[in-house]
Amino acid sequence: MSEQLIFRDRRGTNAMKWNYLDRIGFKGENLLGMWVADMDFASPECVRRALREAADFGVFGYDAAPKEYHEAFIAWEKERHGLEIDREWIRFSPGVVTGFYWLVKMLTEPGDSVLIQTPVYYPFMSAIEDQGRKLVRSELVNTNGIYTVDYEDFERKITEEAVRVFILCSPHNPIGRIWTRSELAKMLEICRRHSVKVISDEIHHDFELGGHKHTPTLAVGDYGDMVAMLTAPSKTFNLAGLQNSFVILPDKDIRDRYDAALRDVHIMGGNSLGNVAAAAAYTGGADWLESVLRTVEDNDALFRARLAEGLPKAVISPLEGTYLLWVDLGAYVAAEDIKTVMEERCGLALDYGTQFGGNAPCHIRVNLATDGAVVEEAAARLIRNLS
Ligand SMILES: Cc1ncc(COP(=O)(O)O)c(C=O)c1O
């Protein structure tokens, strides 16, 4: 039995997606908040109950993570993704972004090359450049909205630039692909050949849509010595504000370096409410997640149907994973106008292709983890103002 989703109108709250948009640089009035990747749904009832109980108890002292925190996560990964994780491999990070910043720092020296596949989630680029490493891009191949890897370019960049680390986005934000086992195996084999370590950001891995199945990088083969996996309950159960993420490090040497890096800044673990929420979510949140997945699929179908009729030349990439739709509006808007048209004419707060470091001057990224009425309204505003 699926749990009924509760949609929340978050206008007038502290939600960044809907409020304080001028601070982010958005212009225009009454914008529909469809940019940053969180959901407009209340978290599962089991999470809210656990947090209510903790709040009623009322003591927020130095708590340890409950034993279910790790056990339920390990069971979740095994059941949903067929991934066997040893408790010993698991480390803490407040966020996945923080985790890959630390990993880039500890796996490379200043000036070393780090590879990404553009267009990609923008903190991948800042993690490299903010820390004085060299950003190397391999552009994904876009064939009518379907993105694939150019393996020749991928390997050439690795050899020409003496790449030390590759940051993989799996599933890939913003283009919505769930990489197949064979695609992952090809990338990993190339990395193995050239002694490249892989930071695998799998934060979106529970969003498997339209029958597509995620393969964890660590389940592709014997790559534990070269792969660091990052994931979290934050996207899956809408808990980003509680700041708990998992770093999975099968390799002892990488683990030791990670432990040393955290000791340096004296980070010991997550906040107590985040621990409680994550343990509850992995224990009892599966039915709620099913409702989210069906809603995202429905919203995807709705948006596509409306645009097929009203803006038939929009190119919408297939949504296999994530809840973020990647739409090319190049047939309707010039690159230099896209921000003004989206915000001031259409009243939409979205992410733009140009933020993702690749060749996507007229793309928008639309967050579908919301009520169908919001998606309907967004499609109507686009059609009204662009057709
Ligand atoms: C690929 C990817 N990694 C990481 C994050 C954010 O992770 P965190 O909030 O845990 O730092 C996001 C959020 O959109 C994301 O899309």
Q: Which of 346, 342, 337, 335 is nearest to 377 (CA)?
A: 346
Longest CA span, the chain? 59
Least confident of 64-68, 312-316, 360-364: 64-68
pLDDT in tens, 175-194: 999 999 999 999 999 999 99
Q: What percent of the chain has pLDDT over 70?
A: 100
Q: How many CB atoms lie within 10 A of CB 250?
A: 19
Q: Whose CA is nearest to atom 14 of ligand 1?
A: 37
Cα of 384 vs centre of ligand 1, distance in Å, is 32
Half-sphere exposure of 91 (CA within 13 A, CB side): 28
Tell me which residue has tokens 């001057």.
361
Q: Name the residue with the closest Cα to ligand 1, atom 9.
A: 95
* Per-residue pLDDT at 302 exceeds 80: yes
Residue 311 Cα to ligand 1 middle (Å)? 30
Using CA atoms, how far apart are residues 74 and 82, in angstroms rounded to an integer? 10
Q: What is the pLDDT of residues 317-338, one digit of tens each?
A: 999 999 999 999 999 999 999 9
The verdict on whether omega for the bond into residue 110 sits within 30 degrees of 0, i.e. cis, is no
> How many other CB atoms sit within 10 Å of the CB of residue 29?
8
User: How high is the pLDDT of residue 1?
Assistant: 65
The pLDDT assigned to 294 comes to 98
How far is it, in rounded angstroms, from Cα 8 to Cα 371? 9
Q: How far is the CA of 230 from the centre of ligand 1 (A)?
A: 10
The CA 351 to ligand 1 mean position distance, Å, reads 14
145-to-152, 184, 310, 383 alpha-carbon distances in Å: 20, 20, 18, 20
The closest-lying atom of ligand 1 relative to the alpha carbon of residue 232 is 10
Domains and CATH numbers, the chain: 21-44+287-386 (3.90.1150.10), 60-284 (3.40.640.10)
pLDDT, tens only, 252-301: 999 999 999 999 999 888 889 999 999 999 999 999 999 999 999 999 99
Asked whether 369 and 292 are in contact (CB, 8 A), the reply is yes
Instruction: Determine how β-strand 315-316 pairs with β-strand 245-248.
Output: unpaired
Report the DSSP beta bridge partners of residue 90.
248
CA 11 to chain centre: 23
In sequence order, what are the residues at sequence separation of 6 or more whose Cβ sits closer than 8 angstroms to the Cβ of residue 361? 330, 335, 338, 353, 354
Which residue, 187, 52, 211, is CA-closest to 116? 187
CA 4 to chain CA mean position, Å:
24
Contacts of residue 96, Cβ cutoff 8 Å, sequence gap at least 6: 201, 203, 230, 231, 232, 234, 245
The Cβ of residue 260 has, within 10 Å, a number of other Cβ atoms equal to 10
Tell me the β-bridge partners of 321. 208
24-63 pLDDT, tens digit each:
999 998 999 999 999 999 999 999 999 999 999 999 999 9
First to last CA, the chain: 42
Which atom of ligand 1 is found nearest the CA of 121? 1
For ligand 1, residues with CB inside 6 Å are: 37, 95-97, 121, 169, 173, 201, 203, 232, 234, 240, 245
User: What pLDDT sits at residue 51?
Assistant: 98
What is the pLDDT at residue 20? 95
Distance 368 CA to ligand 1 centre (A): 16
17, 203, 206: residue to mutate for ligand 1 pocket, most atoms within 8 A of CB: 203
pLDDT 10s digits, 117-158: 999 999 999 999 999 999 999 999 999 999 999 999 999 999
The overall average pLDDT reported for the chain is: 97
Residue type, 280: A
Residue 383 Cα to ligand 1 middle (Å) = 30
Distance CA 155, CA 159 (A): 6
HSE-up of 54 (CA within 13 Å, CB side)? Answer: 19
Q: How far is the CA of 277 from the centre of ligand 1 (A)?
A: 18
Q: What pLDDT sits at residue 2? A: 83
- Nearest Cα neighbor of 236 from 298, 282, 273 is 282
